[in-house]
Structure 1
Amino acid sequence: MHLYQFGRIATDLATQKQELQTIGFPIRARNLSKLARMTFALLEPQAHGDVATHEAWANRAVGPETDLNTWLATNRDVIKRDDFYNVALQYLGFQPRVDFDTAHPRTFMRETGLPYQDADINNQDKFVQAIYLLLNTRTANVVTLINALAAKGLLAHLPERFTFFNGKTLPTFNTHQLIREVVWIESDLDTDGDGKRDMLETTIIRPAATNAGTKVPALFTANPYFHGTNDQDVEAATHVPEPTLAVKQPGTQAPATTQDWYPERPDLPHRQAKDVATAGTVYGDEPGIYSLNDYFLARGFATVYSAGIGTRGSDGLRSTGGPDETASAVAIIEWLGGQRQAFTTRTGHTAIKAWWCNGNVAMTGKSYLGTLAVAAATSGTPALKTVISEAAISSWYDYYREQGLVVAPGGFQGEDADVLAIDTYSRQQAPGDAQRVTKQWRNRLDELARRQDRQFGDYNAFWDARNYRHHVAQIKCDFVSVHGLNDWNVKPRNVIKLHEALRAAGSKIHHKIFFHQGQHVYLNNIRSLDFADQMNLWLSNKLLGVDNHAVSVLPDVEIQDNVTAQTWVTTPDFGAGPGVTPKTLPLATTTDQTQSFQDRSTAIFNDQHDDSAGFEQHIIQPQSAYADVRLWLPLLQPDHDVVLEGTGTIYLRVKADAATAIISARLVDVGSAFRLQPTASTVARGNYPLGFDWQYENTLEFAARSHPNDAQLISFSHANLQNPVDGATAIAVSPGQWVDMQLQLQPTRYHLPAGRQLVLIIHGADMAQTIRPTAAPTITVDLSASHLDIPFRTAAQH
């Protein structure tokens, strides 16, 4: 086990004393022994009364023959360091003889990454420093000790207001008295064409202390799934992967522009307010969907959820990432910031303000939720102070298309923009409401199906309007991005292209990036990393104005290693800067070497009765049913560990005996090994406390497989032969014509151990990601004119 802790900050003794006194800890007593007894009593907040406290002490061991109760009864001028840390480790949730040896507690702490003072405690100031450090040390259950004790009632006596400890807000707010209400925010949109401004239903969960005058910040999650999905309709609407790859004419697609293809916003009158209220008249019965938001509810933040246009309770129509969905999310932020009006009912005239909000907003969420956070940030709306986006899309073309091809987000073959719009159109779950816009909704779906263009897959105006990277210069808030290096749903390109766009624009925005080894998942309950604590430091700074130096304290890039479990490395940038060196790996072992294969992937896939997940595993194995429909190209077998970090580009000279073809590439780590699983395993159920007498979350970790596997996908890429460079430019290709192509691999950080082999696979149609053509073109690659450029990191900080 290793517990990384990047969210702890250094403080001086005076600050430590002041913070300890604020939460009721003594900092001076008649002698050291008396101070220890007073302090250790507070470390048993579940024990009410002297008898219960002494019984709790008696259950903790100081050494092989002494319990804490007996030990505290003896006056002493010096507390030996090993005695202190034997007890400290038990408070942190570790067991003597099971987790650590009582003869060497500091050895365990050093190996686990837990901080300690390597000196005996011979005065009261040193004891105060040791206790302060201990309270800010991570427990076995994700949180720091101060938060673990707060979950047992340590802070229950404190007033319900913001209280800060080590630069972070503590769980001092009563989660049993939360106020839940619904309001309807007036937008500038009329997406359903009824001549009225779309009203946006919004659920608010805020501390009761707001009614007593406490102003709180808001965590806003724009969640299109908040009111449910239409699974049955989605199943019917999902596209069957097309059997034909269409031949394009050069210039088939309209050139990409930044012009919005939606009509101008209508100049409609605002709703007139005839009365004013300070509380909602509709109860918000929908629960929160993200435990990180719930974690911050106990710490005084309000949480706000809105599904947006075209969802149950709101007006309008869905558009899958279109500019109107961005405007829908921005409208919520503007109301929270006092710049827009809302009402207590959908059609009424009683206005309500976000009077309880301090005007500072952060957006949170994963996938579509995080995507809308990225989109909203590009508006530059001033109330949005930061974004914590996880597995977020920055360009929808990079989600549903790739270099002139229709591609599927991992695990969802046949999904497309129109299908996702149907999935999230929960407005139809209120049939009396939905029937009023049936015609408009059908027209919208027809429009989406036409403009998304599944025939040619090129980058066009539809996708350009959903490319948020065009507008990074308008981003005014600092960013946190979280992404899985094995996320083949929202692929890593989305976060790195956003990062590169910010860098290219000369942006002064601070962009913190977390890369984990998982797939399409949240990060907040992974045991080895203090993600929630880091976000507490971050949000306390961004939304509450705490001068905790969060921007400089938190690493710029935190990356989970793929070889050694529970290992995180930090770097000042990703795939760039000092320590990163581009390398060229030739594909040919001899000059003038060409190799060919016939792309019979679809036929083999059908004959094998394979599925998408099976294909992804089978195509990368050394021995495979697909061996004859691929090129297997060993690139490197290092005699020492190497680290790939960044975006690799494959330069290929290719020809086919057809006017078009699918060209795919996979970069693979080959060699039997117990690699990490891409899905985190449950370490413990319900042991991660989010607050006092509040909710608990499971603790997860990425563990090594129980059996070795022979190959691991590192990255991949797909392209249409007619789109040799990008998705915006299609060329005419004659059968037998050589084409020079550039395929960008998905960004990666991959630790390749000595002795394992780096292999590039070139193949045709991808049964898991692309359409499935029945034609079987013969594809030839001139390996002597082809190579891979990929960055290697020569140094990394652990």
Structure 2
Amino acid sequence: MRSWVATVIAAVVALAGAATPTAAGAVGRADRSEPVYDFASAIRETVWVDLGRDGDGDGRPDRVAADVVRPAEAAARGVRVPVIMNASPYFSCCGRGNEKELKTYDAAGRPVLFPQFYDNFFVPRGYAVVLVDVAGTNRSRGCVDIGGPSDIGSAKTVVDWLNGRATGYSAATGGAPVTAGWTTGAVGMIGKSYDGTIANGVAATGVEGLRTIVPIAAISSWYDYYRSDGAVGNGSPAGLARTVSARNRGQDCSAAQRRLSQVFPANGDHAPAWAERDYVAGARNVKASVFAVHGLNDLNVKPVNFGQWWSALSPTGVDRRLWLSQTGHVDPFDFRRAEWVDALHQWFDHYLLGLDSGVGRAPRVSVERQPDVWVDQTAWPAAGSRDVVLRPVTGPTAGLGTLSQGPAVAGSAVFTDDPRQDESDWAAQPTRPSSARVLYTTGALAQDLHLSGTGSVTVTATPSTATARVSAVLVDYGPATIRDYAGPGEGITTGTAQDCWGASAAGDDACYRTTSADTAAVGLHVLSRGWADLANHASLSREDRLVPGRPYTMTFRLASTDAIVPRGHQLALIIGGTDSAFIAAPAQPPRIALDLARTFATLPVAGPGPVSSSAEPLPADPALVRPRAVAGLERG
């Protein structure tokens, strides 16, 4: 009896703490939504939204499937709810989240399992969750086009439907028109990798009704996923299209995939197809707030993608927040779970429900400095960040020398491109000369050095053949414990225990396996890297055949970063040819001579610049983590 009374009292107290419906129509406290709706009885349905295009050439406009779960009690009372949307090509081919969840359906075709915790947590709090199958995947018609009008249109048109500007139907073909009168029209998009990329692309259209996006490890320019300043990386758009369309039976997208092979040049030229998939160029159109998350050691979607997107959004004045982890291509649910769910709850409550949840008082930027050790910043790049030029100066041993903030010094260095080697080979034995790279270091630092922003390297190089690649790597030499971003979990270990985040229903539970940091003790850590094709020295849109023996000057970007090189460590700049873990080799690997007077790194430094305390030697053979070649976004 006492237990029953206590339960009733607790329920009364909980209801007493709930406010009357907010302006957005959800029931909750004045500052946070509460789980007042029954998840097990939620309405689950599929609406097919007409895209107004025929991407698969079957003579009918494509329709994309939008699976919806929303609170039944809100619908019964006529209370409208906002929408959290995830548009993805992965709901049937590759799965979402650390446990690779796929959508499931009952015998009547109604959606049962909505991957990840978003529905379990947010539907009881007065939200609808809508998972959209990108055209050409799962139950949607049409064909994927890897970030182009079909992909972005798949999600944008669903936003339009939620706001009464597009037509939805009760079936994939035929069927009755369906409206979305149950929603306020306020939409927040979220997703990792390809999914977050679609969120970026939809935001860049400026579509009305999209209030916020949460892009996680997302691409901002597809050129910078598959190419890098003229250098060709791993994988291809057509190959990715085949992967995500593999389980979409009953239609033929081979013609669309052939078109993808034709419109993207095999070389590193920045063609119109890449420009069409450059969301950075459309950042001026963004009206939605942005909560971006990225791994500083993401070897799949390189960090330059978050850096250029964040910087392009700055003039727009939209509200922004940024988390930067030490992980690779990992969702924050798996590296900072409790804090992430709370931050996401706060973010969506403010931008979709209009609650004063404290978003404005939260840190603008949070950075993981050591495994599970986070610091907050007011900005990224960090306040006071400025460009510092470091110039290589040759030493007594060929190919080895120092980095100086002084004026240019005459000198030269030579290396031979060895396509069998990568950054790990170049960095592994820093005290030994190598025919495949040159290495320059600050010496032991007298104080911490804070790098925050996007740097670049300028080389003046003379190749011995008509084709040449140049790579640059920034390395922190010194003992440290880091997340093992090159390991199988890319910085996390998945356990066997579970914890639960929200309510469960038959076939759709809220429980997920716990994770912890997977760490490695190292003697060096690659902080940033960049690659270029010297043939694109004059223009990224046009490759020129090089003249052997002629010098060429080219500036190319390093990956965006935010890192502290501790006092006593050494910062090194390594320049080599083909970095085999990331880019393709040239047809004729050359011998390259560098003019050191016209070769330098421009690094974003917050606080004091690099000051050497001594000429302390580098470790002879430091422990390292070795990157794996990246196959493509099908890794999720």
TM category (shorter chain) comes to 0.7 to 0.9
- Corresponding position of 1:669: 476
Q: Which residue in the other structure is 2:103 paired with? A: none
Deviation at 1:655, TM superposition (A): 0.9
- Higher gyration radius (CA): 1
Corresponding residue to 1:581 among 367, 386, 393: 386
Cα deviations across residues 438-490 of structure 1 (Å, max 9, x unaligned)?
Answer: 3xx22222211121111x22101111111112222221111111111011111
**Residue in structure 2 matched with residue 760 of structure 1 by the alignment:** 573
1:655 is matched by which residue type in structure 2?
T
Instruction: Give yes or no for contact 1:683–1:701 (8 Å, CA) kept in 2.
Output: yes
The residue aligned with 2:463 is 656
Q: Does residue 185 of structure 1 match 2:11?
A: no
Q: Which residue in the other structure is 1:568 paired with?
A: 374
The change in CA–CA distance for 1:636 and 1:174 in structure 2 (over 3 A counts) is: farther
CA deviation string 1:504-528 (max 9, x = no partner): xx31211211111111111134348
Q: Can you list the C-alpha shifts for 1:14-37, whole angstroms capped at 9, x where unaligned?
A: xxxxxxxxxxxxxxxxxxxxxxxx
- Deviation string for 1:385-432 (max 9, x for gaps)? 111110111110000011112112xxxxxx210001111114x542xx
- Residue 772 of structure 1 and its aligned partner are, at CA, apart by 3.4
Alignment of 1:501 with 2:312, yes or no, is yes
Change (3 A) 1:672 1:628: farther
Q: Contact 1:527–1:699 (CA<8 Å) still a contact in 2? A: no
The Cα of 1:774 is off from its aligned counterpart by 6.3
Q: Corresponding residue for 1:597?
A: 415
- Alignment partner of 1:644 is 2:451: yes
**1:183 touches 1:282 (CA, 8 Å); kept in 2?**
no
Q: Decide whether the 8 Å contact of 1:155 with 1:172 is kept in 2.
A: no
- Among residues 417, 420, 438, which one is paired with 2:240 in the alignment? 420
For 2:342, the equivalent position in structure 1 comes to 533
Residue from 254, 259, 262 that aligns with 1:442: 254
Structure 2 counterpart of 1:631: 438
Residue 585 to residue 683, structure 1, CA distance change in 2 (3 Å): farther
Pair 1:557 & 2:365 matched: yes
| Inter-partner Cα distance in structure 2 for 1:358 and 1:49 | 38
1:493/1:747 contact within 8 Å kept: yes
Note the C-alpha offset of 1:616. Answer: 5.0
Cα pair 2:120 2:501 within 8 Å, conserved: no
Q: Distance in 2 between matches of 1:292 and 1:169?
A: 14
Distance 1:322 1:784 in 2: 43
- Asked if the contact 1:599–1:778 (Cα under 8 Å) also holds between the matched residues in 2, the reply is yes
Matched residue, 2:85? 220
Other-structure match for 1:67 = none
- d(CA) in 2 for partners of 1:534, 1:416: 35
The AA in structure 2 aligned to 1:571 is Q
Q: Is the 8 A contact 1:586 1:635 kept in 2?
A: no
Percent of paired sites with the same residue: 28
- Mapped to 1, the partners of 2:484 and 2:31 lie a distance apart of 35
Displacement of 1:651:
1.6
**Count of aligned residue pairs for this structure pair:** 569
Distance 1:507 1:625 in 2: 49
Give the letter for the 1:680 counterpart.
Answer: I
| Residue among 161, 175, 180 paired with 1:335 | 161
Aligned to 2:35: 171
Residue number among 266, 274, 287 corresponding to 1:476 in the alignment: 287
Q: Report deviation, 1:347.
A: 1.6
SS in structure 1 of the partner of residue 524 of structure 2: strand
2:202 corresponds to which of 372, 376, 400:
376
Distance in 2 (CA, whole Å) between partners of 1:549 and 1:381 is: 26
Number of the residue aligned with 1:721: 534
- Please say if residues 665 and 716 of structure 1, whose CA atoms lie closer than 8 Å, have aligned partners that are also in contact: yes
Whether contact under 8 Å (1:360, 1:385) holds in the other structure is: yes
Query: What's the CA shift string for 1:735-760, capped at 9, x where partnerless?
Result: 11111121210010111111111111
In 2: Cα distance, 1:489 partner to 1:625 partner: 30
What is the CA distance between 1:335 and its match in structure 2?
Answer: 1.1
- The amino acid across from 1:565 in the alignment is P
Deviation of the 1:666 alpha carbon: 0.9
- What is the aligned partner in structure 2 of residue 465 from structure 1? 276
Whose helix proportion is higher, 1 or 2? 1
> Partners of 1:357 and 1:488 in 2: how far apart?
39
TM-score (norm: length of structure 1): 0.67
Helix, strand or coil: the match of 1:444? helix
Closer/same/farther in 2, CA of residues 658 and 748 from structure 1, 3 Å limit: same
Supply the distance in 1 between the matched residues of 2:107 and 2:181 (Cα, whole angstroms): 16
> How many angstroms apart in 2 are the aligned matches of 1:458 and 1:325?
23
**Separation in 1, partners of 2:579, 2:341:** 38
The equivalences for 1:20-169 within 5 A come to: 48=4, 162-165=26-29, 167-169=31-33
Structure 1 residue ranges without an equivalent (≥5): 1-40, 42-46, 54-148, 231-279, 409-414, 606-614
Match of 1:203 among 42, 64, 67: 67
Match of 1:546 among 345, 355, 358: 355
Which residues of structure 2 form unaligned runs of 5+? Answer: 96-105, 396-408, 486-490, 609-636
Higher strand share: 2
Aligned to 2:499: 687
Q: Which residue of 1 aligns with 2:601?
A: 788
8 Å Cα contact 1:673/1:710 also seen in 2 = yes
Distance in 1, matches of 2:544 and 2:443, equals: 34
What is the RMSD of the two structures over their aligned residues, measured on CA atoms?
3.0
Letter in 2 for 1:588: V
